[in-house]
Amino acid sequence: MKRWINFGLKNRLLMLVLAIVVMITGYMSYQKLPIDAFPDVSPNLVQVFTTTEGLAPEEIEKYVTFPVETAMNGLPGIQKIRSVSNFGLSVVNIYFEDSMDLYFARQLVGERLLEAREQIPEGFGEPELGPIATGMGLVLFYYLEDSTGMRSLTELRSIQDWIIKFQLQNVPGVTEVLGIGGYEKQFHVVINPHALLQYHVTLPQVIEKIKANNLNVGAQFIEKNSEEYIVRSIGLATSIEDISNIVINSEKGTPVYLKDLAEIEIGGAVRRGIQTRNGVGEVVAGMVVKLFGTNSSTVISAVEQSLDRLNKSLPEGLKIVPYYEQKSLVAACVQTVTNALLQGILLVVFVLFVFMGGIRPGLVVTLSIPFSVLFALTGMHLFGISANLMSFGGLAIAIGIMVDGTIVLIENIDRILKEPTKSESRIHEISRACVEVAKPVMFAITIIIVVFLPLLTLQGVEGKTFKPLAFTIALSMLGSLLFAILIAPAMSYFLMKEPDSKEKSNEVWIIRKIQEPYKKLVQFFIFKRIYAVLLAVVFIIVGIVVFPGLGSEFTPELQEGTLILRLAMAPSISLNKSKQLTMIVEKKLMRIKEISGVVSRIGRGEVGAHADPINSAEMYILLKPKNNWRVKSQKELKELIRKDLGETPGILTSFTQPIAMTIDELLEGIKADLAIKLFGDDLELLKQTADKIAAVVQTVNGAKDIQVDQIAGTPQLQIKINRQAIAKYGINVADAQSIIQSAIGGEIVGQVFEDIRRFDILVRFKQKFRDNKEDIEGLLVDGPNGLKIPLSQLASIEEITGPRQITRENNQRFITIQCNVSGRDIGSFVEETQRVINQKIKLPIGYFTTWGGQFRLQQEANKRFAIVIPLTIGLVFFLLFLHFNSVKNALLILLNIPLALVGGVVALWITGQNLSVPSSVGFIALFGIALGNGMVLVVYLNHLLREGFSMTQASIRGAVLRLKPVLMTALTTALGLIPLLFSAGTGSEVQRPLATVVVGGLISSTILTLLVIPAIYKWFAINVEKEVVSVD
Amino acid sequence: MKRYLTKFFVYLIIFSMFLSINTLAVDKEQNEDEHDMHEEKAVVHMDDKTLKEFGVKIKIAKSGWVNKKGQFPGEIRIHLDYLAHITPRFPGVVKKIYHHIGDTVKKGDLLATIESNDSLTPYKIASPISGTIIEKHLTLGESIEANSHAFEIADLNTVWVTFSVFQGKIGEIKQGQNASIQSSNGKDQINGTISYVSPIVDPQTRTQMGRIELSNKNQRWKPGMFVDVNVVYSSIKGKVVVPNTAIQKIDDKPFVFVRKGDAFEPHPVNLGASDEKYVIVKSGLKARTEYVSDGGFILKAEIQKNSMDDDHSH
């Protein structure tokens, strides 16, 4: 240690250069840091989407999902596969270990997808990888505003798909632009089946003819006069007229045109999602997806620039209006932490100058802040941690702590320099002062770093959220250690001077003011040690009394600044009805004073981001500026809106926020305490068994909110082909099915090209011939020799209720039974439930259950903590022991922990906050800081004892002399956190419990350090005589 | 030393306990919040304003008819009883023609003079009916054979509509049933009666032919035109008949919402015959009760609310 300090002092200039280099590197790293709002907590997953228009969940599962899933089995680093087969859409989520590189994982999935493609029947869709993005990737949503009101939704959608989308996709960092709303333009050939009969043509013939009359070919070239002419035959249909005039048949020399059989018109594709706005009508919208790993803020501003350009080039009266931008959230978060950081620095600096009583020492200590921060930034850049609420929050928290080491050091230098010993050279004095305290400083800082280790073992969302914070704190502590040991001595040599002899022992007035009463107080406790013990006991009792009064939550909700009202409607609902209901709610919302607009998405648009069915709507609530609100916070506003909105029949509403919602979806998190997953093959049997299990769980004491997944609920019109009937008429199943498919659902038979824009041609029966069960029964199936048989003769047509979606995990269908537990401990509840279920329910063969839910997560976290925390304490104890070479001293310092806890608990109680993960993080930080403070004092007490002071003398003198550094480090730490405590900015709700705990704990532990430790030191003191003997 | 170590472990345990309790944190309140609307309630309350907002319509149950209908593709044909083929008696040379294709002639009007090859005397042929000349197969000076079709005259004041009945509806269509005939473009419409139903089914197309006689005074229906024939082949009277929109399916069973003040209760019903608009309620709904005739979906959705949440597992 001594060597290091002397090295630093000797090479003072080098140290200065080093400091400047570190700071410049830090600044440059900062420029390069990706800036996000929050740490990205999305799971590491690759999504595979397959759209197959018109297919029911059962078919999607069988033909699409299953082949994709099986192809993915056995990939390296795979965690689990989960899939959802919806109407017309299959989504397979392949979750990988967090350590897997996303691009590598995508490559693996892509390779296997080739295999899967072969297994999927022709025409059942092409599986595609989702965008290269995470849950934080949806950075900007916009809609198209047409002030002329003249343009049709089809026209607007074409502008979105063919102009805006292309331009935005070119912006660097944008991986995908997904359109939704309006109608995708199609050319509809609406066939009148009676005309088919009358003109003696069949539907397959019509389809074939359209296909055969819509193409261009190339025919190489011809030579003419030494020149080559490329031969090209143009036969593509480019307009309604071209399609209308396709000749289908010719009767006695008279051509039968397509227009004789059908109406050809421009229409919209079948849609599974729309956007509405303000309860007024539909809009066309788009969402910009950011590439994984790019810098949110730069991507968003590039997109914005591009939007500006686009707005200028769009037709008159048309405007792109962004209605959600993650940028504002990023900006708000950065602002919150930057504010906290700056205010914290100001407060800390203020304290420093007041207590140091001089500009020079204050300056050296102050310099440790930029140094440590920039050092941490360099580290963040190296480890690939983005700048966000949590990582910067870590810096804000550490502001007050990172000066502590230097404070102790500089205070000692200051004190020794002020000592009237003239014989020593200044450099020697500084060296001596440094060496005196360097060891405890180093140990104190190391202990702070060590106590953050358990945080690094956190898993899942909490882990991803809080690890950056732990990392940056640890990094900045390391920076402050470097500064204190290497740079501060050098700095102090340049900046600090020996005081004029006149002002010797001239202590700062504030310390003088405190010192006197403090001395009396500490004397009282030292002489009546039992009172000190009593004080500590009272503290602990208060803590124990208050503790049960605290509520608990996992992690407080981050307020993203954007509210989403989520609507869940009946699963059987039609898109039109769903639109109607959504617009009713929109109208209601628009009446609320604070709301300036509402943009809702119903169902899903282009695949890639959402897979919601049409019974769900997400309403983005656009708010007026805060000064127009009746309430202060977003949370209160939410309640207000909930109240004003009231109940809406047939709709379940819940509030959420954009990022939280997306990530929840990706995690497919279960919020209940206990989730029993029942795996099995038969949907009906699954449902029945799950209901039985639920009934049994109900009987267990403590069970609450029992819920079984609703897997059914979508009405189906099931057409079952009767094989005997079709055999009688000599008809194939495929003949019947192709009529069913193209007549009812429609068939894409080609494309119309308008320059490079291409639009599908859809052949379908006129609506009145396919609208209800009777009509469908009357559809004529062509048999051999002009035979025509109505479908009702060939198939049974039934209305049934089918599954609304089929969810699978690890290649098996499952259903979830969820419940909460109240009034008893979960462990015993789970045990009892398992026993009862085993007794009462016999699962069908091949069926099995898995038990999970929040309780599992907590159990795992507890198990980990049960190992890691004692380990950490052991390690801390070991470090303390290493430093003091005394078990007693180490124990004395560990005594800080319960007393620090009390302060934190009481502070939470007073401010009405809950125990949560961030408050736990606060407790952890608190231990480190409290231990450090205790160390500084105990080291000095030992020092005095060794110098030959009596126990009582040493206790009093040590306490009084150490009052200043102890108070200063505590004050700087606490004041550094004050801005976080009072901040109301975005993201502050996560930082606040943490700051509260640290500030509260610091108060109680400082009281302990200053009053109790000197008093009870006697019982924990080192044995000086023995030591002297053994050392010598 | 040993004593201190024991102490140390005591602290250690206290410390771990603090933390474990701390991490046991679950958001209980939130869960309660989500589930408190889950009680089962079969009755839905709704005031008039909300009813209007959501388009819920109310009617009083009463008797009515359910009409089974079928639509068949058909064609206007010449009525064979009003068609005359005019053939020369003797082979000969056409000397004179009095009327041309498209001319309207009366019964007894002269059509042509032909000089017989045998007797070399001219003889005249006249129209046996009043009608329009729709075909003419002779030209001046032409030598024509006996029995060749010289003229075809049709009285288009009466035409036939023939239509094909496909499998499934065969047997339902009977003589005497009323039918409404509509032109393909939907502009013209006329009612008629089925005058004939073929007793056999065409073995090739497996269809049965039906026929309607139409009076066609203004000659709007031209033979060869395609038409749609709508036939109501059976009408059933029901004591309680409701629109199809009144039926809501809950768990695959039909229900009708009955109004009592501002309360709406789903009543299970037994359904009888139905057509495209109405259905007979055999039991479950008494006449003169107020029921929801349209927009009942929202009431059903309200009842099913409890099964709707957490629908977002994808």
Tokens, residue A109 = 């999935």
Query: Which residue on chain A is closest to B8 by alpha carbon?
Result: A891
Question: What is the tens place of the pLDDT at every residue in A781-790?
Answer: 888 877 888 8
Q: How many helices (H) does chain A have, and how many strands (E)?
A: 38, 31
- Asked if the model's pLDDT at residue A412 lies above 70, the reply is yes
* Rounded mean pLDDT, A390-408: 85
Q: Would you call A672 and B249 a contact, using CB atoms and an 8 Å cutoff?
A: no
- Asked if the model's pLDDT at residue B313 lies above 70, the reply is no
Q: Would you call A665 and B314 a contact, using CB atoms and an 8 Å cutoff?
A: yes
- pLDDT classification of A451: cutoffs 50, 70, 90: confident
* Cα–Cα distance, A468 to A40 (Å, whole number): 10
Give contacts of B252 with chain A, Cβ < 8 Å: 800-801
d(CA B92, nearest CA chain A) in Å: 32
Which A residues 759-818 touch B at CB under 8 Å?
772, 774, 777-778, 780, 785-790, 792-793, 799-801, 805, 807, 816
Q: What local confidence, expressed as pLDDT, does residue B159 receive?
A: 92
In 3-state terms, what secondary structure has residue A419?
coil
Q: What local confidence, expressed as pLDDT, does residue A590 receive?
A: 92
Q: Are A340 and A983 spatial neighbours (Cβ–Cβ below 8 Å)?
A: yes
Query: Which residue on chain B is closest to A890 by alpha carbon?
Result: B8
Query: Which residue on chain B is closest to A773 by alpha carbon?
Result: B276
Q: What local confidence, expressed as pLDDT, does residue B15 receive?
A: 54
Question: What is the tens place of the pLDDT at every residue in A47-71?
Answer: 999 988 888 899 999 999 999 999 9
Q: What percent of chain A has pLDDT over 90?
A: 18
- Asked if the model's pLDDT at residue A1029 lies above 80, the reply is no
Which among B167, B204, B297 has CB closest to A789? B167
Tell me whether B46 touches chain A (CB under 8 Å). Answer: yes
* Rounded mean pLDDT, B209-219: 89
- pLDDT classification of A491: cutoffs 50, 70, 90: confident
- Asked if the model's pLDDT at residue A264 lies above 80, the reply is yes
Interface A-B: count of C-beta contacts within 8 A: 212
Q: What local confidence, expressed as pLDDT, does residue A302 receive?
A: 92
d(CA B61, nearest CA chain A) in Å: 24
Question: What is the tens place of the pLDDT at every residue in A828-854?
Answer: 888 888 899 888 888 888 899 988 776
Q: What local confidence, expressed as pLDDT, does residue B21 receive?
A: 44
* Cα–Cα distance, A24 to A26 (Å, whole number): 5
Q: Would you call B23 and A917 a contact, using CB atoms and an 8 Å cutoff?
A: yes
Tell me whether B80 touches chain A (CB under 8 Å). Answer: no
Q: What local confidence, expressed as pLDDT, does residue A352 receive?
A: 80
Question: What is the tens place of the pLDDT at every residue in A295-351?
Answer: 888 898 899 999 999 999 888 889 999 998 888 888 888 888 888 888 888 888 888
Question: What is the tens place of the pLDDT at every residue in B69-80?
Answer: 888 888 899 998
A191-200, B22-31, B79-88, B104-113: least confidently modelled range: B22-31
Tell me whether A917 touches chain B (CB under 8 Å). Answer: yes
- pLDDT classification of A1024: cutoffs 50, 70, 90: low
Q: Are A655 and A642 spatial neighbours (Cβ–Cβ below 8 Å)?
A: yes
Q: What local confidence, expressed as pLDDT, does residue A498 receive?
A: 63
Place of tokens 């080609």: A750
Question: What is the tens place of the pLDDT at every residue in A762-783?
Answer: 999 998 888 888 888 888 888 8
- Asked if the model's pLDDT at residue A729 lies above 80, the reply is yes
Tokens, residue A273 = 């999602």
* Cα–Cα distance, A930 to A934 (Å, whole number): 6
Please state, as a whole number, how many other Cβ atoms lie within 10 Å of the Cβ of residue A822.
14
* Cα–Cα distance, A663 to A560 (Å, whole number): 13
Question: What is the tens place of the pLDDT at every residue in A698-721?
Answer: 888 888 778 887 777 788 889 999
- Asked if the model's pLDDT at residue A170 lies above 60, the reply is yes
Q: What local confidence, expressed as pLDDT, does residue A917 receive?
A: 75
Q: Would you call A650 and B298 a contact, using CB atoms and an 8 Å cutoff?
A: yes
A83-92, A373-382, B22-31, B163-172: least confidently modelled range: B22-31
Q: Are B160 and B180 spatial neighbours (Cβ–Cβ below 8 Å)?
A: no
- Asked if the model's pLDDT at residue A458 lies above 70, the reply is yes
Contact partners, residue A270, CB within 8 Å, separation at least 6: A53, A54, A745, A746
Tokens, residue A574 = 């039609």
Tell me whether B298 touches chain A (CB under 8 Å). Answer: yes
Tell me whether B224 touches chain A (CB under 8 Å). Answer: no
- pLDDT classification of A504: cutoffs 50, 70, 90: very low
Q: What local confidence, expressed as pLDDT, does residue A487 receive?
A: 87
Tell me whether B307 touches chain A (CB under 8 Å). Answer: yes
Alpha helices (H) along A496-593: 509-527, 529-546, 575-590
Alpha helices (H) along A721-825: 723-729, 733-739, 773-777
Contact partners, residue A952, CB within 8 Å, separation at least 6: A526, A527
Question: What is the tens place of the pLDDT at every residue in A917-957?
Answer: 788 888 888 888 888 778 878 888 888 888 888 888 888 88
Please state, as a whole number, how many other Cβ atoms lie within 10 Å of the Cβ of residue A575.
16
Which B residues 116-135 touch A at CB under 8 Å?
none
- Asked if the model's pLDDT at residue A222 lies above 80, the reply is yes
* Cα–Cα distance, A356 to A488 (Å, whole number): 15
Query: Which residue on chain A is closest to B296 by alpha carbon?
Result: A650
Question: What is the tens place of the pLDDT at every residue in A151-165?
Answer: 899 999 999 999 999
Q: Using alpha carbons only, what angle is made at residue B186 by residues B181 and B190, rounded to the nearest 5 degrees?
A: 30
Q: What local confidence, expressed as pLDDT, does residue A66 receive?
A: 92
Nearest to A799 by CA among A571, A569, A572, A570: A572
Q: What local confidence, expressed as pLDDT, does residue A552 receive?
A: 67
Give contacts of B30 with chain A, Cβ < 8 Å: 553, 671
- pLDDT classification of A554: cutoffs 50, 70, 90: low
Q: What local confidence, expressed as pLDDT, does residue A499 receive?
A: 60
Tokens, residue A533 = 């013990």
Residue A547 DSSP label:
G
- Asked if the model's pLDDT at residue A754 lies above 60, the reply is yes
Q: What local confidence, expressed as pLDDT, does residue B194 receive?
A: 92
- Asked if the model's pLDDT at residue A174 lies above 90, the reply is yes
Length reported for chain A? 1032
- pLDDT classification of A1025: cutoffs 50, 70, 90: low
- Asked if the model's pLDDT at residue A479 lies above 90, the reply is yes
A804-818, B29-43, B190-204: least confidently modelled range: B29-43
Contact partners, residue A790, CB within 8 Å, separation at least 6: A777, A778, A779, A780, A781, B166, B167, B168, B169
Which among A786, A799, A801 has CB closest to B204? A786
Q: What local confidence, expressed as pLDDT, does residue B17 receive?
A: 47
- pLDDT classification of B31: cutoffs 50, 70, 90: very low
Question: What is the tens place of the pLDDT at every residue in B246-292?
Answer: 998 887 889 999 998 888 989 999 999 888 889 999 998 988 999 99
Q: Which of A37-41, A523-527, B133-137 has the highest mean pLDDT?
A: B133-137
Mean pLDDT across chain A:
85
A582-591, A656-665, B21-30, B60-69: least confidently modelled range: B21-30
* Cα–Cα distance, A559 to A329 (Å, whole number): 9
Q: Would you call A790 and B50 a contact, using CB atoms and an 8 Å cutoff?
A: no
Which among A705, A873, A917 has CB closest to B31? A705
Residue B42 DSSP label:
-
